[in-house]
Every structure is written in structure tokens, then in C-alpha cells.
Amino acid sequence: MNLGMTVETTNETGEITIRRTLGSYDIGRKIKHLRLRKKIALTDLGKHTGLSASMLSQLENNKLIPTLPTLARIAMVFDVGVDHFFMDRRKRRLFSIVRQDERIRFPDRAGSPDPQFFFECLAFSAQDKSLQAYLAEFPPRENQNDGAEEHFHEGAEFIHVIAGVVEVSYENEPNVLEAGDSVYFDAGEPHSYRCASKSTARALIITTPPRA
């Protein structure tokens, strides 16, 4: 699965999604915990970091999302790595819900004028995932002879066609999948996919890391 970075359409703005995703790490609480543990006042932390006490207060209360340089300054004061703010030290079961209107739609290649498909990450808010799940949409092609760009990656891939017809090319051999059909394959070999119907095709795509 090739991941682009250009936002195509979205029901939730990219900034809101980023804020909500970073908010799940509860960075403000971790900053405040470090400060109180060291018994440092906001004004003193401000002198050490070059940040105002007002900004630090907003960071601690999760009213502002810190930049990486800001986190790096704070981390150096407390002698911790930046990764400290992105680790969850609490023991809890992994359970993460992604609502339909929270997802962002991306093209397969950033900046492409004619994407082969669009995708939405279905579990982007979950941490330490053992798989990646995507909802893919394949627009119909004006020229059915247009070939899709091949790619490959480590691990395995599973595709289940929800609607329309998708042609999955694996090692230069085309395979036609209709709604209800599925395929599982070694993603380390060259593969590609494109719409093979007159209407838009949709599919669920799951990728997994290589087995140890």
C-alpha cells in the first residue's frame, strides 16, 4: 500500500484530526507531571526553556499542541527523551474507535493529477498496531488499458472487494476480483490494482508486517 500525504477531501479538517490524534498522548499532563515532580514553578521552567509561563500553562492544559522544538527544550530541562511524551506507561487494553467523519481521504500518490485510487486509514488512532487497515476507492478509468503503477512492501496483504470490480496484478499477472471476492498475498512481490468496472470500486485492504 503506497501512502501519499496530500489530503484530497475530508469531513474533519486536517488540523482538527492532528490535534485530536496528538491529544491522545496527553502531552500536557506529562509536562505538568515532570514539572511538579521536580518542584519547578511555571516561571522558572519558562526561564529554562525560553517559553512564557502563559504558553507553558496552555501546554499543560492541552490548550496548545507543542511543536517538536518546544518539546525538545522541555525534555532537555527534565533530562528525558522526546519519546517520553509519546509513550503510554499505563497498562491498558488496546481499544481504539475511529468514527467515519474523522477519517481523511488520501490519493495513492501525493500530487498525482490522476490517482489510481484513494484510501482512508481505518485505525489511525490506535498505537502499536499489528496490522494496517484501509478503505480504498478506485475511480473508473477512461482508458481500461491504462496500467497501474506496481509497488511492493514487506509483509502480507489482504484485499476484499466491497463494490465494483478491481483488477489486482500480481507478478505481472492480472486477476479480476468482483464484489465479495478476496485475495491474500505476499506483498514483497510486485503488485498493483485498478478499477476494472464502469462504476467506482471499493475495497477493504489490510496489510501486516513480516512474520518474525
> What ranges do the domains of the chain cover?
26-86, 95-208
pLDDT of residue 206: 97
Distance (Å, rounded) from C-alpha 188 to C-alpha 179?
A: 25
Q: Enumerate the β-bridge partners of residue 118.
A: 107, 137
Distance (Å, rounded) from C-alpha 210 to C-alpha 212?
A: 6
* Res 93 pLDDT > 90: no
**The CATH number of the domain covering residues in 26-86:** 1.10.260.40
pLDDT of residue 3: 42
- Give which of 105, 77, 86 is closest to 23, Cα–Cα: 86
For all residues of the chain together, what is the average pLDDT?
A: 85
pLDDT of residue 6: 35
Q: In the CATH hierarchy, which top-level class contains the domain 95-208?
A: mainly beta
Query: Across 9-18, 87-96, 121-130, 157-166, which has the greatest mean pLDDT?
Result: 157-166
**Residue 37 φ/ψ, nearest 5 degrees:** -65, -35
* Res 109 pLDDT > 50: yes
4-37 burial code (b ≥16 CB/10 A, e <16): beeeeebeeeeeebeeeeeeeeebbebbbebbee
List the single range of 3-7, 71-75, 92-96, 122-126 with lowest mean pLDDT: 3-7
Higher-scoring residue by pLDDT: 80, 174: 174
List the single range of 122-131, 139-148, 194-203 with lowest mean pLDDT: 139-148
pLDDT of residue 8: 38
Q: Enumerate the β-bridge partners of residue 104.
A: 10
Q: What number is the average pLDDT over the span 26-47?
A: 89
Higher-scoring residue by pLDDT: 23, 99: 99
Higher-scoring residue by pLDDT: 13, 37: 37
- Collapse the DSSP code of 37 into the 3-class scheme (helix H, G, I; strand E, B; otherwise coil) and give the result: helix
List, in order, residues 6 or more apart from 101 with CB less than 8 Å away.
Answer: 11, 12
pLDDT of residue 157: 97
